[in-house]
Amino acid sequence: MNSVDESAALFVYGALLDRSLRERLLGRAVLASSAWLPGYERSRGRHYYVVKRDGARTEGLLLEGLGPRDFELLDRYEEVPSLYVREQVEVIDAQGANRCCWIFLPTARLLDASD
């Protein structure tokens, strides 16, 4: 998938908000803080997903300090590239600062299954 650096961050907005799920997947706790994604609306079919929507905002968590192995595990969990793709976006962190991070965005396949 995409390369990541050792201090990469990921914005999560669905099942990965659950700390116990994250710890089970990654085998460790990771730093998580509140953040929000402007211009996207969260929805749910069988899976959570976000879609662009003017004026919308999606609350979530910013997971920090993730390494390449973490992203491999998370990509597998999110079924990249079948159901999601991992792309970079800008979120607003708890201090109000803009932060560049990764996010899992839905593929057409996932959106078609959610209709």
Q: What is the CATH number of the domain that holds 92?
A: 3.10.490.10
Does residue 1 belong to any structural domain of this protein? no
The pTM for the full model equals 0.92
* Residue 113: count of CB within 10 angstroms of its CB: 13
What are residue 12's DSSP bridge partners? 61
pLDDT at 6: 45
Is residue 67 within 8 A of residue 6, CB to CB? The reply is yes
Does residue 66 belong to any structural domain of this protein? yes
Domain that includes residue 91, residue range: 8-114
Total domains present in the chain: 1
Which pairing describes strands 84-93 and 8-12: parallel, antiparallel, or unpaired? Answer: unpaired
* Residue 97: count of CB within 10 angstroms of its CB: 9
Mean pLDDT of the chain: 93
pLDDT confidence band for 5 (50 / 70 / 90): low
Dump pLDDT digits (tens) for 49-102: 999 999 999 999 999 999 999 999 999 999 999 999 999 999 999 999 999 999
